[in-house]
Each structure stands twice: as C-alpha cells, then as structure tokens.
Amino acid sequence: MNDTPPKGRGTGQAPDSRFLDWQREATDDGWPADTTDAPPRTQLQVDAARTIITTNRSPDVPFDRSINPYRGCEHGCVYCFARPSHAWLGLSPGLDFETRLAWKPDAAVLLRKELAAPGYRCAPIALGVNTDAYQPVERRLGITREILKVLAECRHPVQIITKSALIERDLDILGPMARDGLAQVMVSITTLTTDLARTLEPRAAAPHRRLQTVRALAEAGIPVGVLFAPLIPALNDGEMDAVLAEAVARGARTAGYVLLRLPLEVAPLFERWLADHAPGRAAHVMSLVRQLRGGRANDPRFGHRMRGAGPFAEVYRQRFALACKRLGIAPRHVALDSTRFVAPGSDIQGRLF
C-alpha cells in the first residue's frame, strides 16, 4: 500500500470513515506500490444544507455563530482538527478531506433567509472557522464573496480567519465594512520556515505571502491580527515571538495562539507526518503533546483543548503574554458593532427619514 502524499497534498493516507459498516485493512501482496498514478484532482459535490449559520456554546471561542462555505479543505494541512468531520460524509478524513470537497452553492440565499427571520438577533459571525473560506477552490466558486456581499448589505459584523492571500480579492467589501466597525481578520501563520510550511500546509499561501496579506489588510484599514496556530511543541514553538513580531511590523494589531489539537483520525495522520518529515523529533514532539494533554494525544475538554494544561502550557501562556506586551498588541479580538444591523428586505431608505 502506497500512502506517500501525492504532490501538493498533505497526506496520502485514506483511513475509512469511522461510521462505515466496514473498514479496509492494508495487506502486503508482494507487489511494489504503484506510483504511476497522476496526483488526485479536487472533486466537488453539492452540500444540500438547509441552514448556513452554525451556532455553538463553546467557552473557548469568542463567537457563538459561524459559517463554513465548504466541507473539506484543499490546503491539506496535515494537523487540521476539522479532518474527522469528513467521516460524517462517509469519506476519509485523510486524502478525501483534501480532494473531495462539499460546497454550498445556495449559501448566500440561505444566509439572507436566516438573517431575515423575525427572531434573529445580530452578533458577529465567524467565517471560515472549521475550514478556510478562502481555500483555492473559492477562486472559481466565489461562495465566500457572495456571503460577504449579503453581510455588507445588512451591515452585519464578521470575523474571518484565513491563511490565504485570496482574501485580498475582497478588500473592496471588507474595507468599507471595517470603517463601520463591521469586520476583523485574523491571518493564521504557523511558521516562517518555508520548507516546514510546504510539507505541513502544502496548498496554503507561503509564510512571506501571508505577511504581505497582513500588510494589505492593514493598509486597507481593516483591523488585522495574527493567529499563531497550531503551536506544535518542539517543532515550531520556538518561532512564536518571531511570527508575532513580523506580523506586527506589517500592521497586525491583535494576536492569538492555539495549541496543536489531534482529535480522532488526526493523531495517526500527524504521527505519520512526523515519521516522514521529522523522524529525529517525532518521539519528543508526541511526548510533549501528551504532557500537555493529560497523557493523551488529545484532550477535548472545554478550557483545555485550545491551550493544554500543565507546566509547559503555562510557559507558553507566559511567553505569549510577554510577547504581546513587548510588541504593544492586544491578545484579544476587536469589538465589532452589532447595532447597525438591518435585516434583509427592511425598508432601509424609509429608516433614513
């Protein structure tokens, strides 16, 4: 069985959905692995969702609602905590997550309908939290841009997290929204080391390109922050201060960090990545991960899953706080204005008189 990542993909492994009635088992039939196949192309299927806004009550995130235009993500980040969600589609959290995407063509229509509901109460919507709203396929599908048009029309606040330079396409929408206190962007930067980024996040923008995006957003007057995520012990943790400093030099005003999360199928995928790309550090990385996660590869408890627990977690917390203080940035989100909201179909002109 050949599970070497195809060119431009984060993993070649394809563990079966845990919800299937059967599971495949790799066997050695004596024949060499076939490496002649062309790299898999991205396949799309329609996600016939009836709603577009997802709500949550997690105390670990500063929002209670979000929108994800896509299921799966072409960026191919091997560590992505959202990979297990692909099992709900009967697909593999491994290679299928990167190559078999579900998209929501009616996203803007559904959003308009939900915002117009009589009981809707406005609060910032987080865009692209589970999977990146600006992943490569967005360039031709434009679902995220249509969503932003609806939010701008309704004067609805939005928070965006991305590691893509494609967000610069929508500065014409985000700039005016930001001037009214309706938009904030966090650019996720995992490392400044090109070779590490190339294997960890094969189809995401290069580190230097993300820094350019921070500058472009700042120059457009959009409150922009940097998200150091994920923080991986003994792999990129030493870059925290440098990543924050480079982003601040280009206009970042806020910052955050998230500790590596390895739920369900993500743990074996990441451990295989370590064996392939950092074999000398693999045991040390996973030892530290388990020390931060109560002896396990993952700790899903609220209050622990984003930061971990124990002495190493406290060291990271203090390092981050000191870096923010030294750089003069706030370790929190910008407050957005929810008072300007106008529901779709409202008599906006009439309200002016």
- CATH number of the structural domain spanning residue 174: 3.20.20
Alpha-carbon distance 115 to 292, whole Å? Answer: 41
Mean pLDDT of 74-82: 95
**Structurally, how many domains does the chain consist of?**
1
Quote the CA–CA distance of 119 and 318 in Å, as a whole number.
42
In this prediction, residue 347 has a pLDDT band, given cuts at 50, 70 and 90, of low
Residue 58: pLDDT band (50, 70, 90) is confident
Task: For residues 257-276, give the mean pLDDT.
Answer: 96
Write down the pLDDT at residue 26.
Answer: 57
Average pLDDT over residues 45-72: 90
Mean per-residue pLDDT for 40-54? 91
Q: Answer whether residue 322 is part of any domain.
A: no
Q: What's the pLDDT score for residue 23?
A: 57
Residue 58 located in a structural domain: yes
Domain contains 156: yes
Distance in angstroms (rounded) separating the CA atoms of residues 229 and 125? 20
- pLDDT (mean) for 349-353: 44
Enumerate residues 6+ apart whose C-beta is below 8 A from 315: none
Distance CA 89, CA 17 (A): 8
Residue range 135-154: mean pLDDT, rounded: 97
Please provide the average confidence, as pLDDT, over all residues in the chain: 90
pLDDT tens figures, 165-200: 999 999 999 999 999 999 999 999 999 999 999 999
∠ CA 199-201-206, rounded to 5°: 95
Examine residue 164 and state whether it is found in any structural domain, yes or no: yes
Q: What is the pLDDT of residue 258?
A: 96
220 within domain boundaries: yes
Q: CA angle, 279 as apex, 234 and 260 as ends, to 5°?
A: 40
Q: Which of 26-35, 122-131, 248-257 has the lowest mean pLDDT?
A: 26-35
pTM reported for the whole predicted model: 0.90
Is residue 10 very low, low, confident or very high in pLDDT (cuts 50, 70, 90)?
low
304 part of a folded domain:
no
pLDDT value, residue 178: 98
Domain span at residue 207 reads: 43-259+329-342
Residue with tokens 């990441």: 270
What is the average pLDDT across 199-228? 97
Residue 33 placed within a domain: no
Query: Does residue 323 or residue 303 have the better pLDDT?
Result: 323
CB neighbours (10 Å) of residue 71? 22
Q: What is the 3-state secondary structure of the chain?
A: CCCCCCCCCCCCCCCCCCCCCCCCCCCCCCCCCCCCCCCCCCEEEECCCCCCCEECCCCCCCCCEEECCEECCCCCCCCCCCHHHHHHHCCCCCHHHHHEEEECCCHHHHHHHHHCCCCCCCCCEEECCCCCCCCCCHHHHCHHHHHHHHHHHCCCCEEEEECCHHHHHHHHHHHHHHHCCCEEEEEECCCCCHHHHHHHCCCCCCHHHHHHHHHHHHHCCCCEEEEEEEECCCCCHHHHHHHHHHHHHCCCCEEEEEECCCCCCHHHHHHHHHHHHCCCCHHHHHHHHHHHCCCCCCCCCCCCCCCCCCHHHHHHHHHHHHHHHHHCCECCCCCCCCCCCCCCCCCHHHHCC
Q: What pLDDT is recorded for position 350?
A: 44
Residue 69 covered by a domain = yes
Instruction: Specify whether the CB–CB gap between 113 and 52 falls below 8 A.
Output: no
For the residues 201-223, what does the mean pLDDT come to? 97
Assess contact for 337 and 157: CB atoms under 8 A: yes
Residue 102's beta-bridge partner residues? Answer: 45, 71
Pick the range with the lowest mean pLDDT from 20-34, 203-217, 241-255. Answer: 20-34
pLDDT, tens digit (0-9, with 9 covering 90-100), for 88-114: 888 999 999 999 999 999 999 999 999
Q: Give me the mean pLDDT over the 313-328 stretch.
A: 97
- Closest Cα to residue 235, out of 286, 176, 292, 307? 286
pLDDT at 285 over 70: yes
Q: Which residue has the higher pLDDT, 41 or 186?
A: 186
Burial of residue 253 (CB within 10 Å: 0-12, 13-18, 19+) is: middle
The pLDDT value given to residue 1: 46
pLDDT band at 349 (very low <50, low <70, confident <90, very high): very low
Checking if the pLDDT of 348 tops 80, the result is no
Q: According to the per-residue pLDDT averaged within each range, which of 51-60, 115-124, 342-351 is highest?
A: 115-124
pLDDT band at residue 20 under the 50/70/90 scheme? low
In percent, the amount of the chain with pLDDT more than 90 equals: 76
